[in-house]
Amino acid sequence: MDDVSIIGPGAIGSTVAAILHRAGRTPRLYGRTARSGLEVHIGDEAIHVPGPVRTDPEHVDDTAGTVFLAVKATQIEGAAPWLAKLCGPGTALCILQNGVEQAATVAPLVPEGTVIVPAVVWFPAQAQADGSVRLRGAARLTLPDAPGADRIVETLQGTRCTVELASDFPSVAWRKLLQNAAAGLMALTGRRAGMFARDDVAELTVDYLREGLSVARAEGARLGDGVPEEILDGFRSSPADLSTSILTDREAGRALEWDTRNGVISRLGRTHGIPTPISDVVTALLAATGDGPG
């Protein structure tokens, strides 16, 4: 029960694997594509994480002490066999995933006694054309100050990843969701962060985020009036070529996490009777962008 496993060695999963390996805690890797190892660039250092990436859940013999789930929301069903094999009573499962519904979505897929710890991921990790991953900022996670979080803190202690515990985790999760929702506009335009320098895009972004802020507050999040502008300023101060995972997925022709990142605003807005006209349009266009046909 002392080993660490990572399901989904994509950009985020590979970064966590590299950070752990660099600290002498090489994790076991599980995913859809067999690979002999991973390469992650952090600053000027190239970190090579030994594999293999295992692809057959039937070859898992025992549960893990700590599991990081780093697949996208669109890949949860495919991760279910891994979760069933690797998790068990006492396993700490840290969900490195977008949205505010991670725990509710994953809970039915894990054995009883698994301790689920949702996380907010704050670091920009991007997959490169050669299959490697580049971390373009400091690695930071926020976890709820709740049972199981201490196990994740202990696992990452002394690594390059900062871990914060939040007493009001839902507010932090909604803050990140609003940021991800705005990034959905990048997938619609096919443009990177530099597009937010346009005044018309900036105005649309703030109006969209104000809708999301109303929904977040109805869900109990405690976020200030200035959050939409703060998020916009964050995009505007980023490198103009900074991408986002939903744009990367669009460029690669993969399914988009539009419901987890954007559709949730419209869905919960209807639940609370809050009009979300901009969100409704953005969600419909993202759905069509990701799902077709045409």
Residues annotated catalytic, as ranges? 176
In angstroms, rounded to a whole number, what is the distance separating the alpha carbons of residues 157 and 160?
9
Tokens 């809708």: give the residue.
Answer: 211
The closest of 22, 63, 70 to 46, measured between CA atoms, is 22
Tokens 């076991």: give the residue.
Answer: 28
The closest of 201, 193, 227, 195 to 213, measured between CA atoms, is 227
Terminus-to-terminus CA distance in the chain, angstroms? 48
Q: Is 93 helix (H, G, I), strand (E, B) or coil?
A: strand
- Which residues lie closer than 8 Å to 5 by C-beta, 6 or more apart? 27, 28, 29, 30, 64, 66, 67, 68, 86
